[in-house]
Amino acid sequence: MDALMGDVLIVGRPAEEEGDTQAVPDELIDLFFHTETYRVQVTTIEDTNRWSGSLRRFNDVGEAYNHGQVLASKWALVNDVRVIPA
């Protein structure tokens, strides 16, 4: 599933006290711009500290994230979803 994406602006979280925007973390830049394949991991409500996933790989970060969201909507035990480099 190839999707066209337009221009985006990625900013870091605002500083807690001043509210100024911080730099984007290097790991996020690497994930979006320097990763060729992706995997999806989830935590469950039974173990929120342990990330688990399959070996399925995706060529597009959006496709990987959508897969994780669909999985979460079908499996009630999913607590959180993340996309990581494969």
8-state DSSP, 44: E
Q: pLDDT at position 1, please?
A: 46
Residue type, 25: P
66 CB-side CA count, 13 A: 9
pTM of the model: 0.75
Q: What is the pLDDT of residue 3?
A: 55
Residue 39 β-bridge partners: 84
- Cβ atoms of 86 and 52 closer than 8 Å: no
Block mean pLDDT (10 aa), the chain, length 86:
64 76 84 94 95 94 94 94 96
